[in-house]
Structure 1
Amino acid sequence: MKTYPATTEDKELIEAASTKIKLLYKENHHHVGAALRTLSGEIVSAVHVEAYVGRVTVCAEAIAIGSALSDGHEGFETIVAVRHPHSDEQNQDLTVVSPCGMCRELISDYAPNCYVLLQIDGKIVKTTISELIPYKYSRV
């Protein structure tokens, strides 16, 4: 997988996602925050919505994308998700996490040139969504 170094703007995006999840963290309801930068430079952040029936849970990336689209934004430059540890975990550090498969599809559908921030071996890097989902489903 080809990766690129994180920029100052990328670190601002991580901070936005971290701030959102720290502010809204609630055990068994919200433990992931996401932030995306639109092509116009605006940052949109959100938390995931957890449900007792797992299939009903909505990821933070999906909510951030939906919020941005609802506000009239088209196209996204970069997206990141940050996980807040549960209260019973020994390590209470926030961590950047990779998007799940469904979020990868969603990001690719709405922003095929989007960058995704990842934490690999303790280092923050970015890659393209096409690197994370190289053989995306297509209706060809």
Structure 2
Amino acid sequence: MDVADEALMEMARRASESAYAPYSRFRVGAAVRTLAGGVYTGCNVENASYGLTCCAERSAVFAAVAAEGPGMRLVEVAVHAAAHSVPPCGACRQVIAEFGPQARVLFPSGGVVTVMRADELLPARFELDPPG
């Protein structure tokens, strides 16, 4: 990991402090870097109707799309879970791969930071050609 990776991981850690997780108490933060050079963060936001919960990774990606528009492309995603280390869930992997199949995904695992490409985390992602 280089200095830029460490800074992105720190941003993800800080984002986890804003998580709204009253049900699971599982606080997660994410930070994404885009091809345009933007950096955006997100945290998980739970809901009493569990299916409406949004993960940190998707929150960060959606913030990037809102800021940069539909052409936004991811180059790096960092994830931090306060309680214990986990890679992105399947839904988040799909969203990350949609906006950056070659994006580097960093997440703590067993005391070290694992770095994988999005297409390695989700090798057979769902793809649909948009109409038009």
TM-score range, shorter chain: 0.7 to 0.9
Q: TM-score, normalised by structure 2?
A: 0.84
Q: Which has the higher contact order (CA 8 A, sep 6+)?
A: 1
Structure 1 unaligned blocks of 5 or more? 1-5, 86-94
Q: TM-score, normalised by structure 1?
A: 0.79
Alpha-carbon offset, residue 25 of structure 1: 4.3
> Of residues 59, 81, 84 in structure 2, which corresponds to 1:83?
81
SS state at 2:45 partner: coil
Moved more, 115-124 or 63-72: 115-124
In structure 2, the CA distance between the partners of 1:139 and 1:46, relative to structure 1 (3 Å rule), is closer
Residue of structure 2 equivalent to 1:61: 57
SS state at 1:71 partner: helix
**1:57-136 counterparts in 2 under 5 A?**
57-72=53-68, 74-85=72-83, 95-136=84-125
Residue of structure 2 equivalent to 1:34: 30
**Are the aligned partners of 2:58 and 2:92 in contact in 1 as well (CA < 8 Å)?**
yes
Q: Kindly report the root-mean-square deviation, in angstroms, between the aligned alpha carbons of the 2 structures.
A: 2.0
Question: Which 4+ runs in 1 deviate beyond 6 A?
Answer: none
**Are the aligned partners of 2:19 and 2:45 in contact in 1 as well (CA < 8 Å)?**
no
Give the AA of the match of 1:75: R
Alpha-carbon offset, residue 121 of structure 1: 2.8
Alignment: residue pair count? 125
SS state at 2:68 partner: coil
CA deviation vs aligned residue, 1:69-119 (integer Å, no higher than 9, x gap): 11115111110221123xxxxxxxxx5531000000010111111110022
